[in-house]
Chain A
Amino acid sequence: MRMLGRTAANLFWLSRYVERAENMARLLEVGYRMSLTSRREGGASEHLISMMQAAEVDEGFAEKHEVADVDTVAHYMMFDPNNASSVFSCLMAARTNARSVRTAITTDMWESMNEAWLEFSQIKPRDVRGAKLLGLLQWVKHRSHEFRGALLGTILRDDGFAFLQAGNFVERADNTARILDMKYYVLLPRATLVGGDLDIQQWTLILRAASAHRAYRHVYHDRYKAHNIADFLILRPEMPRSLIFCARFVQQNLDMLGEFYGRRECCHDAAAELLAMVEGASMDSIFAHGLHEFLVEFIARNNRVTDALSESYNFY
C-alpha cells in the first residue's frame, strides 16, 4: 500500500514541530539564564530580545508586548496561541498532525505525543514562574526525547520513517543556522585573540542554545574560541546539531526515499546542494566568503529542500 501525499506531509511536519518545540524550550532557557546573570541596566531585556530574534518571533512579540521581561517573553514563547512557534502551538500542531496520521505512526509514538499534549494543555501559565519555568522547559525537552525514542525504537524503516527523519533534521539545521546568524558577529575573527567577558557570555549562549557547551570541551580540550565554536556548529560531523551533521542526515534520508521508490527526484538535487555548502568546506573559506552570507544562503537552500520534497512526493 502506497502512502498518501498528505500522510507524507503530515509525518514531515509532525517531526518538525516536535523538534521546534524542543528548540524553543532550549532557546528560552538560554535567554532566561542570560537575563538572570546580566548585571547591566537593560541587559536582561536585550538578551531576551536577541534570543527571540534567533527564534524569529521578535516581531510578533513586539506587536503584543512593550516590555520584554522574563514573564512576558516566557508567556509568549511557551503559551501564546498567536505565536505559531510557541511551545503550545508546536505541540498542538504536532499532535494534530499525529492524529491525522495515526495509522502511519506506532501506538507508542501516538501515546507519547498525545500524553505530551494532554499534560501540557492542563498547565496554567500563571503557575509557571522562576524555578517552575526551568522545570517545564526540561519537561518539554524530555517529551521531545521520549517521542524521538519511541520513533527510533518502534517504527518500520520505510518511507514514513524517512519523511519523519527528514523533517526532524531540516528543522534542526534551520535552528542551528539561525542561532549562529543571530550572533555571527561575535564569531568573526578579530585582531585581538582573547575574548572579553562579554564575548564569553555570548559564546556560552550560542553553545548552550545548541546543547553544545559540554560537548565543546570533549572535542576541543580548549577554552572558548570563536573559530572553534563556529567550526563546532558548522563543520564537525560528530556534533548532532551541526549544519554538516543535519545536512548529511537529510541527504541520507532522502536517499532512502529514492531507493524505496526506485527513482531520484528534484529533492535529491536540493539536498545535494545543501550538503555541498558544508562538505569539504573549511572555516577559513567560510570566513573569507562571509559568515553571515554563508548562513543566509544555507537557510535558503535548506528551505528549498522542503519545497523540493513537497514537489517530489506530492505533499498537500
Chain B
Amino acid sequence: MGDKTPFDEMYNPDGSVREPYRALSQWLDEQPDKALALMQADAEAIFRKLGITFAVYGSEEGTEKVIPFDVIPRIIAANEWRRLAKGIEQRVRALNAFLYDIYHRQEILKAGRVPEKLVLQNEAFCPQMMGLEPAKGVYAHIIGVDIVRVGPDEFYVLEDNLRTPSGVSYMLEDREAMMMLAPDLFQRTKVAPVETYPENLRRTLESVAPEGANGTPNIAVLTPGIYNSAYFEHSFLADQMGAQLCEGHDLFVDGGKVYMRTTTGPERVDVIYRRIDDDFLDPLTFRPDSMLGVPGLFDAYRAGNVTLVNAPGTGIADDKAVYTYVPEIIEFYLGEKALLANVPTYNCTDEAQRRWVLENIHELVVKEVHGSGGYGMLVGPTSTKAQQAEFKRKIEARPDNYIVQPTLSLSTCPTHINGDVAPRHVDLRPYVLVGDEVRITPGGLTRVALKKGSLVVNSSQGGGTKDTWVLED
C-alpha cells in the first residue's frame, strides 16, 4: 500500500474536482493572492485571543501553544457520512456490550472468541469494576473513533478512543473560526451543524444520571486543573453545557454521596464527566498518591450514587491488542459483520508473523500497545536504519508490547502551506455520544500532517486541524 499515489479528497486522478468539493474549488479560484495567508493570520489571532491553547509536555513550563488551524475545510459527502455513521454506531454498541460482558459473565472469553489472557492480564482491565451495574448499562459514553481513508470507498478504523478522548472543542472552535473567516463559503454550501454537540452532551449525561437524582441532574466536569494540556477544552465544555467545572479538591464524599463545596455549603453531584485518568480518580481505590482525585469517589460510584463518565476500566476495549478482535466482538454481540474495516494488524507473539515483521519493518508502522499521542511509534518508510534497528530489538525483547500494521497511505486534502495550496495527509476523528441513545455529530476533528509526506497527524508531532464539513443532501 506504500507506493500508491495517495487518494486525494479533492481531485480525481484525471485532475477534475470531486463532486463534494465543487463549491470549495470555485471559491478557492476566486480568492485573490494572499487572501489565504491573511485568513491564516486572522485565524491564528482568533485562536490565541480566545485562549484556545494546549500545553506541550517537555517544552518550557507553562508554554501555551495554538494548534495550527488550516483554513481549507475537509469535506465529506452526505452518502459517505451515512455509511461512516452506521459503522461507527455499530462499533460503539458492540464495544459497550463487550465491556458489560467483560465486567460480568465474561461469555466472550468462555466462548474462546477473545483470548482470556489478553483481557484478564491486561493492565487496562480494571478488576474493581467486576459486577458493577453502570446506569443504562453504558460504560463508554464519549468516544472518538479515529478513521483514515485510503480510497473512494475504503475507510479503516485506526483506533477507538474510549478513555476520555480530547479534541472536541477544536471541532467546535474550528467551525466558529471558519464561519468568521469565510462566511460567503457557507452561503454556497449546505453544511451539517456541529453546534449541537454541547446540548447533546448534556442530554447524554443527564440520561445516565443515577436513578435517585431529583429533578435536573447536577453535572460536574472534573479537570486536573489549569495546567493540564486540555484545560481549555474542559472549561469550554463545562461552559457550553452549563455544568460546574471542578477540580478534585472542589468535591468530597460524605456518606457514600458526592458533594461540591459551594458558597452556601455542600451540594450534591449526580454525574461527573471526568477528564482525569482512571488511576488518579480516587486515591483510596487507585493510585494512593493521586492529588487530582476525590477520596471515596469510587465507593460512591459503586453504591450507584453518582455516575462516572466514562466508566473506569473502559481502556480494556480500546487497548491496541484487543483492537484486532473488534470485528469478532461485533459479530459475537450483534450477530452482524463489521461495517467499518480494521487495519490489518500483525501479531508479534506469533513467531512466523514476527519474523515477517522484522524483515519488512521498513515498510510497516509499529505502535506501542499502551502508547498514545504519536509517542513511541515507528513509521517504517520515513524512519532511519538506526530507528528500525532499535524497534527490532524492542519487538524481540517484548513482542506482546507492540502491534504492527502496514503503512496506510492516508488520503490527502488541499492545505494552505506558506501561501500555496498543497496536498497533505489527513485523518478523521468523529465524536460519538452514548446514553439513552447513540448520538453522532456530523463532522469531527480532521487532523492534518503539515509536514510534506508525513503521516503523523498528532498535534504533539507538528499536526494541525481543519474544519470538517459533512454535506447535507
Residues of chain A at the chain B interface (Cβ within 8 Å): 1-6, 8, 96, 99-100, 102-103, 107, 110-111, 114-115, 118, 159, 261, 313-314, 316
Contact = CB atoms under 8 A, between A and B. Distances in A.
B124 to A, nearest CB: 32
Contacts of B262: 2-5, 314
Given A99-B231, A114-B49, A4 B263 contact: yes
A1 B242 contact: yes
A96 B242 CA distance: 21
Given A4-B250, A6-B249, A96-B226, 19 more contacts: A2-B262, A2-B267, A3-B262, A3-B263, A4-B244, A5-B261, A5-B263, A100-B226, A102-B239, A103-B238, A103-B239, A103-B244, A111-B49, A111-B51, A114-B51, A115-B49, A118-B48, A313-B263, A314-B263
Q: Which 7 A-B pairs have the closest CB atoms?
A: A2-B262, A313-B263, A102-B235, A103-B239, A103-B245, A114-B51, A103-B238
B188 to A, nearest CB: 29
B226 A2 contact: no
B261 A316 contact: yes
B51 A4 contact: no
B220 to A, nearest CB: 10
18 contacts: A2-B263, A2-B267, A3-B262, A4-B260, A5-B261, A5-B262, A5-B263, A99-B231, A102-B236, A103-B238, A107-B50, A111-B49, A114-B50, A115-B49, A261-B263, A313-B263, A314-B261, A314-B265
A311 B51 CA distance: 33
B459 interface: no
B65 to A, nearest CB: 13
B44 to A, nearest CB: 12
Contacts, number: 63
Interface residues of B, number: 26
Contact of B51 (A100, A110, A313): A110
B51 A6 contact: no
Contacts of B260: 4
Interface string B43-65: 00000111100000000000000
Nearest to B50: A111
A103 B263 contact: no
A99 B226 contact: yes
Give the interface SS of chain A, mostly helix, strand, loop or mixed: helix
A261 B264 contact: yes
B218 interface: yes
B432 to A, nearest CB: 25
A102 B169 CA distance: 15
A89 B245 CA distance: 25
Give the interface SS of chain B, mostly helix, strand, loop or mixed: mixed
A5 B235 CA distance: 17
Nearest to B265: A314
B246 interface: yes
Interface in B198-233: 218, 226, 231
Given A96-B226, A103-B238, A118-B48, A1 B244 contact: yes
Which residue of B247, B262, B267 has the most chain A CB atoms within 10 A of its CB atom?
B262
Nearest to B236: A102
A120 to B, nearest CB: 14
B51 A2 contact: no
Nearest to B216: A1
A222 B233 CA distance: 57
A5 B50 CA distance: 26
Contacts of B243: 1
A119 to B, nearest CB: 11
B49 A1 contact: no
A5 to B, nearest CB: 5
Interface in B9-53: 48-51
Contacts of A313: 263-264
B226 A1 contact: no
Which residue of A6, A107, A313 has the most chain B CB atoms within 10 A of its CB atom?
A6
A8 B246 CA distance: 13
Contacts of A6: 247, 249-250, 261
B88 to A, nearest CB: 30
Contacts of B249: 6, 316
A172 B245 CA distance: 30
Nearest to A115: B49
A161 to B, nearest CB: 13
Nearest to B250: A4
A65 B245 CA distance: 43
Nearest to B240: A103
Contacts of B246: 4
B460 to A, nearest CB: 22
B51 A8 contact: no
Contacts of B265: 314
Contacts of A99: 51, 226, 231, 235
